[in-house]
A = this chain, B = another copy of it.
Amino acid sequence: MAINTILMDFKVNEPAKLDSGSNIQTDVHQVLEQFIPGLNMHMMQDCGPDGILILWSGPRSCLVTLRAFRGPGLISISIEYYRGEEEDALLSFDQVRTIESLLIPKLNSIRSHKYPAFKRGGILNRYLVSSDERVLEYDFDKLLFEEKTAHQKVQIYHSPTFGNMLVLDDLQNLADSDIIYTETLMQRGKENYEGKEVLILGGGDGALLWELLKEKPKFVTMLEIDDVVMQSCKKYLRNSCGTCLDNYNGENYKIIVADCVQWLDKYITDGTKFDYVFGDLTDIPLSSTPQGEIWDFIRLILNKALKVLNSTGKFMTHGNGISCPTALAMYEEQLKKLETPVDFSRDHAFVPSFMEDWVFYQFNCTSSCLH
């Protein structure tokens, strides 16, 4: 059950076409009522420079809104109705296509577009956004898990395309399809983890830990703040995390449910060092205006992480979508402001469930780096 909203738009070549609302009313109504019998005009207003506004109402709480923007010569139409659990769609996408093709000659339109219905307000939300705020509709068919924790909203969906998929606060995190994410993050084949001490900050889905364990490290410590993420991934993301979340104290690894900042401070005080530290925490913020607190947090983590690396150590982390060059540049700006200077390299990979190309960073302390 959901509100269905169908959007269409038409570019009109002759501004004269938009002179009279009543012509548009008649033309559009004639087409629409073939598909929505019982549709009646509810209201029509000429709003002067703001154009024309026409409302029609019909069965199934259907409201059709038409706006004609005189300046740019554009017409927008929205068809909105309520679709109950067992009800058929009021209009199929094929019918929407037909409506478009019938309206084009009536409106003398030179360019037009239609969208499949947006399904709104249901239990299962299928719409997420990309790193650069584009709308992506997923083929989710089941919500397997949902819980609001003290830290975030944790959801696991099933998608025929991507398998089970972890979504945190409406952000794509990791799906069954995304081994490339973990392999690019850890630079599999380029880095040698055998016999190494590794620290993971975050990483609650368990995928990084699971893949690292295959490389025979000496010991991996993982610091994850949200146990609900791990418990849900243990159940629904086993394709990615294997058995490593079944036991928080393994032979050559341990998982600590804690805030990583406190533990980093403890390691700094103790003088504990690692060969690799992974930053697998929250995403880089998108906004191009510096959002003080978030960048401060990123620098805070980086400064502390670099202090627990041994002299040949590396810090590896995920960046952002390549569609966000501004956010990536700002992240790289932050690196110049760190207490110890760093060299960095970048890699990228198309992550299926993100539906975009993602950037990953690898940091080396430079020769001047003090330990």
Residues of A bordering B, CB below 8 Å: 1, 3, 5, 7, 9-11, 43, 47, 49-51, 53, 57, 61, 63, 65, 67, 69, 71-72, 74, 76, 78, 80, 82, 84, 93-94, 111, 113, 115-116, 118, 120-121, 123, 125-127, 129-130, 132-139, 160-161, 177, 287, 321-323, 325, 350, 352, 355-357
Contact = CB atoms under 8 A, between A and B. Distances in A.
Contact of A111 (B43, B51, B63, B123): B123
B78 A82 contact: no
A227 to B, nearest CB: 24
Contact of A72 (B121, B137, B352): B121
- The 4 A-B pairs at the shortest CB distance, nearest first, are namely A134-B137, A74-B121, A9-B120, A9-B121
A115 B130 contact: no
A82 B93 contact: no
A303 to B, nearest CB: 27
18 contacts: A3-B9, A3-B67, A10-B121, A47-B57, A49-B61, A51-B61, A53-B63, A63-B67, A74-B120, A76-B121, A111-B123, A113-B121, A115-B135, A116-B129, A130-B137, A139-B323, A161-B321, A350-B352
Q: How many copies does the complex hold?
A: 2
Contacts of A160: 322-323, 325
A177 B348 CA distance: 13
Contacts of A133: 93, 116
Contact of A76 (B3, B94, B287): B3
B322 A161 contact: yes
A67 B350 CA distance: 40
A332 B309 CA distance: 57
Contacts of A53: 63
Contacts of A10: 121
A135 B135 contact: yes
Contacts of A49: 61
Contact of A323 (B50, B74, B161): B161
Given A160-B322, A350-B177, A11 B121 contact: yes
A69 B82 contact: yes
B76 A7 contact: no
Contacts of A126: 134
Contact of A65 (B65, B74, B118): B65
A38 B76 CA distance: 23
Contacts of A61: 49-51, 67, 69
Q: Which of A120, A121, A350, A357 has the most CB of B within 10 A?
A: A121
A130 B139 contact: yes
Contacts of A74: 3, 82, 120-121
Contacts of A127: 113, 115, 135
Nearest to A74: B121
Contacts of A357: 161
A130 to B, nearest CB: 7
A69 B82 CA distance: 8
A161 to B, nearest CB: 5
Contacts of A84: 72
A24 to B, nearest CB: 15
